[in-house]
Amino acid sequence: MASEEKHIILQARNLSVGYSKKSSETIIAEALNFSIEKGELVGLVGANGIGKSTLLRTLTGMQNALKGSIFLNGKDLKEYSSFQLATQLSVVLTEAPASKNLTVLEMISLGRQPYTNWIGSLSEADKKAINFALEATETIDLAQRKCFELSDGQMQRVAIARALAQDTPLIILDEPTTHLDLYHRAYVLKLLKNLAKATGKTIFFSTHEIDLAIQLTDKMLVMAKNETHFDEPCKLIENGNFETLFPQETIDFDSKTGRFTIRK
Amino acid sequence: MQAAPTYKLQFSLLFLAVIVAFLLNLSMGSVSIPFKEIISVFTGNGASKETWHYILMEYRLPKAITAMLAGGGLAISGLLMQTLFRNPLAGPFVLGLSSGASLGVAILILGASAFGGFFGTILLSQWSLVIASALGSFLVLLAVLAVTFRIKDTMAILIIGLMFGSVTTAVVSVLSYFSSAEQLQQYIFWSFGSLGNQSWQGVLILIICFVAGLALSIFSSKSLNALLLGENYAKSMGLHIKRTTFIIILATSILAGSITAFVGPIAFIGLAVPHLVRQVYKTSNHLILLPAVLLCGSLLMLICDTVAQLPFSEFTLPINAITSLIGAPVVIWLLVRKRKLFF
**Residues B187-202: pLDDT tens digits?**
887 778 788 878 888 8
Q: Do B4 and A166 touch (CB under 8 A)?
A: no
Q: How far is A48 from chain B (nearest CA, A)?
A: 22
Q: What is the mean pLDDT of residues B272-295?
A: 91
Q: Choose among B2, B230, B233: nearest Cβ to A143.
A: B2
Which residues of chain B lie closer than 8 angstroms to A135, CB-CB? none
pLDDT band (50, 70, 90) for residue B116: low
Residue B141's φ and ψ, nearest 5 degrees, are -65, -40
* Rounded (10°) angle between helices B8-27 and B61-84: 140
Q: Do B237 and A119 touch (CB under 8 A)?
A: no
Q: What is the mean pLDDT of residues A158-162?
A: 96
Q: Say which residue, B90 or B296, is predicted with more confidence.
A: B296
Q: Choose among A82, A95, A98: nearest Cβ to B228.
A: A98
pLDDT band (50, 70, 90) for residue A3: very low
Q: What is the mean pLDDT of residues B132-160?
A: 75
Mutate which of A110, A124, A140 to test chain B, going by most B C-beta atoms within 10 A?
Answer: A110
pLDDT of residue B1: 39
Q: How far is A9 from chain B (nearest CA, A)?
A: 18
Q: Which residues of A touch B (CB under 8 A)?
A: 60, 62, 82-87, 89-91, 93, 95, 97-103, 105-107, 110-111, 113-114, 116, 118-120, 127, 130-131, 134, 143-144, 146, 148, 162, 166
pLDDT of residue A73: 92
pLDDT in tens, B235-278: 999 998 888 888 888 888 889 888 887 888 888 899 899 998 98
With a cut of 70, say whether residue A112 has pLDDT above it.
yes
Q: DSSP states of chain A as a string?
A: -TTSPP-EEEEEEEEEEEEE-SS-EEEEEEEEEEEEETT-EEEEEE-TTSSHHHHHHHHTTSS--SEEEEEETTEEGGGS-HHHHHHHEEEE-SSPPS-TTSBHHHHHHHTTTTTS-TT----HHHHHHHHHHHHHTT-GGGTTSBGGG--HHHHHHHHHHHHHHT--SEEEES-TTTT--HHHHHHHHHHHHHHHHHH--EEEEE-S-HHHHHHH-SEEEEE-SS-EEEE-HHHHHHTT-GGGSS-TTTEEEETTTTEEEE--
By CA distance, what is A126's nearest residue in B?
Answer: B1
Name which of A145-159, B7-21, B320-334 the model is least confident about. B320-334
Q: How far is B163 from chain A (nearest CA, A)?
A: 25
Name which of A133-137, A159-163, B168-172, B216-220 the model is least confident about. B168-172
Which residues make Cβ contacts (< 8 Å) with residue B30, sequence separation at least 6?
A: B309, B313, B314, B315, B316
Q: Choose among A85, A99, A162: nearest Cβ to B284.
A: A99
Which residues make Cβ contacts (< 8 Å) with residue B114, sequence separation at least 6?
A: none
Q: Say which residue, B175 or A8, is predicted with more confidence.
A: A8
Beginning with the edge strand found earlier in the chain, give each strand of the sheet holding A67-72 in spatial order. Answer: A25-37, A8-20, A67-72, A75-76
Q: How far is A144 from chain B (nearest CA, A)?
A: 9
Q: How far is B216 from chain A (nearest CA, A)?
A: 12
Contact A220, A203 (CB under 8 A): no
Q: Do B236 and A87 touch (CB under 8 A)?
A: no
- The full set of domain ranges for chain A reads 8-100+168-262
Closest CA to B343 of B21, B70, B80: B80
With a cut of 70, say whether residue B118 has pLDDT above it.
no
Q: Where are the alpha helices (DSSP H) in B126-153?
A: 126-150
Q: Say which residue, B1 or A137, is predicted with more confidence.
A: A137
Q: Is B162 on the interface with A (CB under 8 A)?
A: no
Q: Do A105 and B1 touch (CB under 8 A)?
A: yes
With a cut of 50, say whether residue B113 has pLDDT above it.
yes
With a cut of 60, say whether residue A135 has pLDDT above it.
yes
Full set of structural domains in chain B with CATH: 8-338 (1.10.3470.10)
Q: Which architecture does CATH list for A8-100+168-262?
A: 3-Layer(aba) Sandwich (3.40)
Closest CA to B85 of B140, B144, B164: B144
pLDDT of residue A261: 85
Reduced to 3 states (helix: H, G, I; strand: E, B; else coil), residue B343 is coil
pLDDT band (50, 70, 90) for residue A190: very high
Closest CA to B41 of B52, B30, B31, B28: B52
- Measured distance CA(A17)–CA(A32) in Å, rounded: 9
pLDDT of residue A258: 81
What is the DSSP-derived secondary structure letter of residue B3?
P
Q: Choose among B228, B230, B287: nearest Cβ to A119.
A: B287
pLDDT band (50, 70, 90) for residue A16: very high
Contact A142, A104 (CB under 8 A): yes
pLDDT band (50, 70, 90) for residue B340: low
> Within its chain, how far is the Cα of A107 from the centroid?
19
Q: Do B233 and A97 touch (CB under 8 A)?
A: yes
Which residues of chain B lie closer than 8 angstroms to A143, CB-CB? 1-2
- Measured distance CA(A170)–CA(A201) in Å, rounded: 6
- Measured distance CA(B77)–CA(B213) in Å, rounded: 9
pLDDT in tens, A204-241: 999 999 989 999 999 999 998 888 999 999 999 999 88
Q: What is the mean pLDDT of residues B65-74?
A: 96
Q: Do B285 and A106 touch (CB under 8 A)?
A: yes
Q: Would you mind telling me the total number of residues written for chain B in this entry?
A: 343
Residue A80's φ and ψ, nearest 5 degrees, are -80, 135
Amino acid, single-letter form, for residue B329: P
* Rounded (10°) angle between helices A124-136 and A152-165: 140
Closest CA to B193 of B314, B39, B316: B316
Contact B252, B141 (CB under 8 A): yes
Q: Choose among B86, B238, B285: nearest Cβ to A98.
A: B86
pLDDT in tens, A28-52: 988 999 999 999 999 999 999 899 9
% of chain B surpassing 70 pLDDT: 89
Mutate which of B153, B284, B288, B342 to test chain A, going by most A C-beta atoms within 10 A?
Answer: B284
pLDDT of residue B219: 95
Mutate which of A101, A146, A167 to test chain B, going by most B C-beta atoms within 10 A?
Answer: A101
With a cut of 90, say whether residue A88 has pLDDT above it.
yes
Q: How big is chain B by its Cα radius of gyration, in Å?
A: 20
Which residues of chain A lie closer than 8 angstroms to B229, CB-CB? 97-99, 102, 107, 110, 162
How many contacts (CB atoms, under 8 Å) link A and B? 102
Q: Is B15 on the interface with A (CB under 8 A)?
A: no
**What is the average pLDDT score of chain A?**
91
Q: Is B155 on the interface with A (CB under 8 A)?
A: no
Q: How big is chain A by its Cα radius of gyration, in Å?
A: 19
Q: Do B229 and A99 touch (CB under 8 A)?
A: yes
- Measured distance CA(A120)–CA(B286) in Å, rounded: 10
Which residues of chain B lie closer than 8 angstroms to A141, CB-CB? none
With a cut of 80, say whether residue A125 has pLDDT above it.
yes
With a cut of 90, say whether residue B38 has pLDDT above it.
no
pLDDT of residue B77: 93
pLDDT band (50, 70, 90) for residue B29: confident
- Measured distance CA(B54)–CA(B84) in Å, rounded: 44
**What is the average pLDDT score of chain B?**
83
Which residues of chain A lie closer than 8 angstroms to B233, CB-CB? 91, 93, 95, 97, 110
pLDDT of residue A57: 93
- Measured distance CA(B124)–CA(B76) in Å, rounded: 28
With a cut of 90, say whether residue B28 has pLDDT above it.
no
pTM of the model: 0.88
Q: Is B246 on the interface with A (CB under 8 A)?
A: no
pLDDT band (50, 70, 90) for residue A154: very high
Q: What is the mean pLDDT of residues A86-95?
A: 94
